[in-house]
Each structure stands twice: as structure tokens, then as C-alpha cells.
Amino acid sequence: MEHIKTVDICIPVYKPDPEFAAMLKRLAKQDYPIHKLWIVNTEEKYWDTSFEKEYPHCHIMHISREDFNHGGTRRLMAESSDAELILFMTQDAMPADQHLVGNLVEAFDEQGVKAAYARQLPRKECRMMEAYTRSFNYPAVSCTKSQADLPTRGIKTFFCSNVCAMYEKKTYMELGGFPERTLFNEDMIYAGHLIQAGYKIRYQAEAKVIHSHNYSNRQQFHRNFDLAVSQAEFPEIFQTYPSEGEGLKLVKSTAAYVCKKGKPWLVVSLFTGSFSKYAGYFLGKRFKKLPGWLVKRCTTNPGYFTR
């Protein structure tokens, strides 16, 4: 009889809303059995206790917003799990169908695969350029990435998104898991360690979630600042394979796309948005040289820099 791997789902939550409730309903209807659902809620006062009544298999942990960080909070959930596979999701990642979990599990049938991440589809209200970014980063064709891809894929080899990503628990523990403390990018940091250790990462396009954002230029600046800070703090992963080249590819490809679609005026907002992203990234890479007051103005999490 074929062994059915146990799967736990881990979701950090802040101010859960009706969309989160809808997400839980879709997870409850998955055709692959879920062992446990771990939820770390940031700020107990925002928690809706009806979730626990409706989904009794949920295991809830409450922490303060000051205690949340991208790596440490997910480490807490991973270490609490006793499943063979751990699926990390964000509270706004909506399963596109009932096959999400099962399709991710199938990725681990390939020898050497120790992590797998899902395809992200744009929401209905997603702007054209953001929708194109989804298709650029999450194409319709699956692929497996290993050390052999570093010369051609560069930093994309390490790409893995905890919006919806599954990991083998045994290997996760052996490699030390997510960093205890990081502002951002905990998924790519661990993925980099996986690749460096000789393992593989699977992009499983058949596993799909609906997830996108219409960020303002200001929000893009702050996000890219935080992303660059995390890269600067882990040079063993990011120094050899910087992100700038991949970002330039995306800008060029998006510009060609909007022109092809007969909307060349969108190139203006593309370039202003790209400038905001690059400005945030440029400053974030150099955050140690900046005055503390400026760093706190640039980041989405000022508390991270006061410890």
C-alpha cells in the first residue's frame, strides 16, 4: 500500500477577515488529507474565535506584533509540526481548486526535491502590469531547479515563495530551517541553502493559488527596501547572484508586453514604479550606512531595527 505523507499547513495571520474564512473553507475541501493546521495570529484582540469552532483541527498560537518576523515566526510553526511535509501559506493565498495540496505533494516524488512552490494567479481586480508580473514569475510550465541551473538561471534558481510553498520537514531540520531573524525573504534564504546542499526545488505549476496585489509606488519602495536588507544580511546566498539583472529583464519584458497590447502609455507608470522599486532596493542594500531615522522611514517594520 502506498504511503500517504502527512501534511501540516502553517499560516501566519494578522487581522483575519472574511477572505481568510473563505480560504479555510477551501483548505477544508482539499482532496489530499491535511494532518493539522497551524495558525500564528499576530495580536489576539483581532482573532475571531468562530474560526476555532468551525475548524476544530486548527492549532492557534497568539503572539504580539513586535514578536513577529518572517523567519522566526515560521520557525515556531515548523518546529511545532510533526508532519513529514509542511505547507506554508499566507492568509491571502486562495487555493484555486481542491487539488492544491495533492499537486504539491506529488512534486516530492522526484528524487532530490525537498521544496516545492505553487503557481500564483492574479485576482480579477489585478492591474494589467501586475498580472503580467505573475505570468513572468509563475509561468504555466513546471520546472525543477538545482545547482546545475545557477550559471543560466542565477538568482532565479533560489526563487521560492512562502505565499504557498511546501518543504520536507526532515531536510528542513537538518539544514537549520528558516533564519531565526530576518526582515524578509526567509523562503529564498532557505531555498539557497537547499540548493547549496545539493538538493532540488520544484516549481509546481499544477498547484495554483489566487494571489496578487496592486501596490502603490510607495509600498513598492518599502517592500524592496526590506527585501534588499534581507539580502544584505545573508551575503552567502545573494552576493554571487544579485537581483538587479532579473529585475531589468522583467522591466524590459513588461514594456514590450504593454506596447504589444496597444497601451504604450502604461510604460510611464512602469518606469515610475520601477524607479521606486530600485530606489528602495538601492538604499536597502546599503542600510548599514544609513542613519537610523532614515532606515525606520524606509522599512515596513521599524521595530526590526531597534533590537
Contacts of 76 (CB under 8 A, 6+ apart): 40, 61
Q: What's the confidence (pLDDT) of residue 283?
A: 95
How high is the pLDDT of residue 56? 62
If DSSP codes are grouped into helix, strand and coil, which group holds residue 207? strand
Instruction: Report pLDDT digits (tens) over 1-28.
Output: 567 899 999 999 988 888 888 899 899 8
Cα 279 to chain center, whole Å?
Answer: 22
Name the grid cell of 110. 522526484
The pLDDT assigned to 248 comes to 79
Residue segments in the chain with a per-residue pLDDT below the cut of 50: none
Q: Determine the pLDDT at residue 98.
A: 96
* pLDDT for res 306: 75
Q: Strand, coil or helix: what is 302?
A: helix
Contact 241, 149 (CB under 8 A): no
Alpha helices in the chain (DSSP H): 18-28, 50-54, 70-80, 100-106, 128-137, 150-153, 169-174, 186-196, 217-233, 235-238, 244-260, 266-285, 292-298
pLDDT at residue 1 in the model: 53
pLDDT at 219: 94
Residue 251: what pLDDT? 83
Confidence (pLDDT) at 132: 85
How does pLDDT run across 15-67, given as a tens digit for each residue?
888 888 889 989 989 999 999 999 988 877 767 666 666 766 788 888 887 77
Pairing state of beta strands 36-42 and 58-63?
Answer: parallel
Q: What is the largest CA-CA distance in the chain?
A: 62
Q: How far is CA 237 from the centre of its chain?
A: 17
Cα-based torsion angle of the residue sequence 107, 75, 61, 32 in order, rounded to the nearest 10 degrees: 10
> 99 near 206, Cβ under 8 Å?
yes
